[in-house]
A and B are shown apart, each in its own frame.
Chain A
Amino acid sequence: MTSSITVSGKLEKLADVNLWLDTLATETNISKSSLYAMKLCCEETYMNIVMHSYAPENTNLTLDEQVVNLQVEYKEDDLRLIIEDNGNPFNPLEKSSSAPAKSLLDAQIGGLGISLMRKFSKAINYEPKDSGNRLIFQFETS
């Protein structure tokens, strides 16, 4: 099974993406925890794209060009989520995960997304595109 959706790179479109993933999960036997992992990785990536790649100061793209393509590929024992944008080259896997804070006052706000993506997926691969970025997540199916 393959399903895809294209949305404009705006924060509020995350609701459409989540609804799409919820619907996919009800149509297949993707487990609740796999759906959670997929939504989490999807949201963290999507937020990076919206807040960084498509931030007005970082892009010359028109609003029409600022889209995010998402695709889920699901086979018996293989679940993948592919997320593509047209923004500047950015490989989140090159950012090191920040060490956990030792106290509340030291705790940094933000920067957690990438370490959560690593913890909740089986594998992540980054591929640069001619213009933009492609992240491929693999998840457990059960």
Chain B
Amino acid sequence: MSIDINYETSANGVTTVNISGSMDAMGAQAIDLKFSAISGSQNKLIINFEKLDYLASMGIRTLIMGAKSVQLRNGKMVILKPNDDVQKVLSESGVDTLIPIYQDLQEAEAFVLS
């Protein structure tokens, strides 16, 4: 299973990053450069996991590094709509206490714009 990443920034300045497929060790490696470029330049980030099937610790590493970079610039980053299995990985690893997780797009937008 492979991974795909794309992003768009809307008029309100919110950048939505869609990551789909499998964020395993190879998937994380494949998107690391692009994800760090996005998280290093955008301050209002929604990471859309609606089509993400799988996340393991190397993917968490990618997420945490990005979130650190956003926070250092006083930006905000949230995760949107992880599936049940991915949600379990995020909560068991404690990521949910570091990066807010939303199931609702409007709420996620309101948070990054606040």
B-binding residues in A (CB < 8 A): 11-12, 14-15, 18, 22, 32-33, 36, 39-40, 43-44, 47, 100-105, 107, 109-110, 112-113, 115-116, 119-120
Answer whether residue B5 sits at the interface, using C-beta atoms and an 8 A cutoff.
Answer: no
B98 touches A14 (CB 8 A): no
**In the complex, which residues of chain B have a beta carbon less than 8 angstroms from the beta carbon of A119?**
88, 92
Answer whether residue B41 sits at the interface, using C-beta atoms and an 8 A cutoff.
Answer: no
A116 touches B89 (CB 8 A): yes
A12 touches B92 (CB 8 A): no
Q: Given A101-B94, A101-B98, A112-B93, A44–B26 Cβ distance below 8 Å?
A: no
Can you name the residue of chain B whose Cβ is closest to the Cβ of A102?
Answer: B97
Main SS of the interface on chain B?
helix
Main SS of the interface on chain A?
helix
- Count of B residues near A, CB < 8 Å? 27
Answer whether residue B65 sits at the interface, using C-beta atoms and an 8 A cutoff.
Answer: yes
**In the complex, which residues of chain A have a beta carbon less than 8 angstroms from the beta carbon of B22?**
18
Answer whether residue B85 sits at the interface, using C-beta atoms and an 8 A cutoff.
Answer: yes
A-binding residues in B (CB < 8 A): 1, 22, 24-26, 29, 54, 56-58, 60-61, 64-65, 67-68, 71, 84-85, 88-89, 92-94, 97-99
A36 to B61, CA, bound (A): 19
The one of A15, A36, A109, A113 that contacts B64, using a Cβ cutoff of 8 Å: A109
A112 to B62, CA, bound (A): 13
Q: Given A14-B26, A18-B1, A33-B85, A104–B71 Cβ distance below 8 Å?
A: yes
Q: List 30 A-B contacts (CB under 8 A).
A: A12-B26, A14-B24, A18-B22, A22-B1, A39-B24, A39-B56, A43-B24, A43-B25, A43-B56, A43-B57, A43-B58, A47-B25, A47-B57, A101-B97, A102-B97, A103-B98, A104-B64, A104-B68, A104-B98, A104-B99, A107-B98, A109-B61, A109-B65, A110-B61, A112-B93, A115-B92, A116-B56, A116-B92, A116-B93, A119-B88
